[in-house]
Amino acid sequence: MIFKVYYQESAKEVPVREKTQTIYVEGVSERDVRTKLKNRPFNIEFVTAVDGEFLEYEKQNEDYKVLEIE
């Protein structure tokens, strides 16, 4: 399953909505995705599953790339 992760680059700074970035990560659950990203210096704001028509829409974005982290 593909998850869309909204995050800030630095966990040490106060979150600012305009600096929110997104990445796509393959995982089996939200917990799995958070575990895979725990060694990165991200401040994860929100993780949501992406499927169906929403996934097809996201694939049209030129920045769409799925991270396959083990």
Q: How far apart are CA 34 and CA 46, in angstroms?
A: 10
**pLDDT exceeds cutoff 80 at 3:** yes
What is the residue range of 60's domain?
A: 2-67
Query: What are the Cα distances from residue 51, in Å, to 15, 26, 56, 57, 59?
Result: 27, 12, 8, 10, 11
Mean pLDDT of 12-23: 86
When pLDDT is cut at 50, 70 and 90, the band that residue 24 belongs to is very high
Quick check: 52 and 10 in contact, CB under 8 A? no
| pLDDT tens for each residue of 31-63 | 999 999 999 989 999 999 999 999 999 999 888
pLDDT the model gives residue 11: 79
Domain CATH number, residue 34: 3.10.20.730
Residue 34's pLDDT is what? 94
pTM > 0.75: yes
- What is the number of structural domains in the chain? 1
